[in-house]
Each structure stands twice: as structure tokens, then as C-alpha cells.
Amino acid sequence: MSAHPFRADDVDVTPEAVQDRGDEVQLVDVREPYEWEAGRIEGARHVELERLASQADTLDRDRPVVLYCRLGARSGMAATAFRRAGFDSYSMVGGLERWAAEGRPLTPEDGTVAPH
């Protein structure tokens, strides 16, 4: 897996860390609706990337925000922007593809990672 151009060690968090933190974080899926429908992480909130800025006020600033997409580029850009806006935000490195490749569960039970 090649690194995306928006990768930053201070913003990226592994799928393992996301799973370990569970309810401590706000997990936000920034993918398109068809991607969300194909498969997602249980407990995640869906906010399309293009609507994320307008939904920022609906997120709890007192809890870390972990954003994810298919590979990590879209969520990396979003996490960096949210950091600049004062959020404790992160991007799940490798995105949902890495999550699934590591054998972590998707919802629905027969969920898949849709192509972008």
C-alpha cells in the first residue's frame, strides 16, 4: 500500500487503535452514500466529505474525531482541516480497505469495501 500525499504521523491512526478506542472516539465515515451502503464500521456516523464543514458544529469538540474513507486520502485532508479548526481529529490510515484487509468487521454482515 502506498502512502497518500496527505499522510501525516500526527494525524494518522491505525485501524487497530480505532478499534481499541471504541466509544472514546467519534468515528465519521466521509465516503459517498453508495460506499457507505456497501459496507461500513459499526457505530460510525456518515457525513459525506462535501457536507463535513457544514456539519462540524454537530460534532463534540471534547471528544477525539476519527475520520475514514476508502484509502485515507479524503479523510486525511479532512482531519488536517479539522485540526486547524481546533478539533482533536485523526484519519484512519489505510482507510476502510486496510480495516477490512486486517479482518475487522463490516456492517452489514456481508458488507464490502466499494470502489471510489
46 closest CA partner among 23, 19, 72, 75: 75
Quote the CA–CA distance of 83 and 104 in Å, as a whole number: 27
Look up 37 and say whether it is catalytic. Answer: no
The H or E element containing residue 82 is: helix 73-84
Long-range contacts of 49-54 (CB under 8 A, 24+ apart): 49/74, 49/78, 52/28, 52/78, 53/81
Q: Annotated catalytic residue: which of 66, 69, 77, 100?
A: 69
Active-site residue set: 69
